[in-house]
Chains A and B, each alone.
Chain A
Amino acid sequence: MAASALRLVGLLTLTLVVIVISLWALTIGSSDIGIGGVVEALAGAGDERRFLVVTTVRLPRILAALLAGASLAVAGAIMQAVTSNPLASPGLLGINAGAAFAVVASLILFEPAPTAVYVWYAFGGAAAAAFIVYMLASTGAGGATPLKLALSGVILSVFLGSVTASILIFDKTTLDNVRLWSVGSLSGRPMSSVVAVAPYIGFGLVAAMAFSRQVATLSLGAQVARSVGQNIALWRLASGAIVVMLAGSAVAMAGPIGFVGLVVPHMVRLAIGTDYRWILPYCAIAGALLVILADNLLRFALPGRDIPVGVTMALVGAPLFVFLARYRIGNAR
Chain B
Amino acid sequence: MSVRDPENAAPLTARNLTTGYARKNILEHLDFEILHGCFTVLIGPNGCGKSTLLRALCNLMPVRDGGVLLDGRQISEFSTKEIARRVGVLAQGPVAPEGLTVEDLARQGRYPHRSLFGQWSDEDETACRTALELTALTHLKDRAIDSLSGGQRQRAWIAMTLAQQTGILLLDEPTTYLDLAHQIEVLDLVQRLVREQQTTVVAVLHDINQAARYADHIVAMKDGRIAVQGSPEEVINKETIEAVFGVRVAIVACPVDGAPLAVPLTGRQK
Contact = CB atoms under 8 A, between A and B. Distances in A.
B164 interface: yes
A148 interface: no
B111 A229 contact: yes
A92 B97 CA distance: 20
Contact of B94 (A86, A141, A219, A224): A224
A161 interface: no
A273 interface: yes
Interface of B: 21-22, 58, 60, 79-85, 88-91, 94-101, 104-105, 108-109, 111-112, 117, 146-147, 160-161, 164
A333 B83 contact: no
Contacts of B91: 223-224, 227
B256 to A, nearest CB: 35
A246 to B, nearest CB: 21
Contacts of B21: 141
A231 interface: yes
Contacts, number: 69
A228 B108 contact: yes
Interface in A198-226: 210, 216-217, 219-221, 223-224, 226
Given A217-B111, A274-B104, A333-B147, A228 B97 contact: no
Interface in A307-333: 328, 333
Nearest to B59: A226
24 contacts: A141-B21, A141-B22, A217-B108, A219-B97, A220-B108, A221-B94, A223-B91, A223-B94, A227-B84, A227-B90, A227-B91, A228-B84, A228-B108, A228-B160, A229-B84, A229-B164, A230-B81, A230-B111, A231-B79, A274-B97, A274-B101, A274-B104, A328-B98, A333-B146
Contacts of B146: 333
A226 B80 contact: yes
B111 A274 contact: no
Given A227-B161, A228-B84, A229-B81, 17 more contacts: A84-B97, A141-B22, A216-B108, A219-B97, A220-B97, A220-B105, A221-B95, A224-B94, A227-B88, A227-B91, A228-B164, A229-B83, A231-B79, A269-B99, A274-B97, A274-B101, A333-B146
A69 to B, nearest CB: 24
Given A217-B108, A217-B111, A220-B108, A227 B89 contact: yes
B90 to A, nearest CB: 7
Contact of A228 (B82, B104, B109, B117): B109
Nearest to B120: A213
A275 interface: yes
Nearest to A84: B97
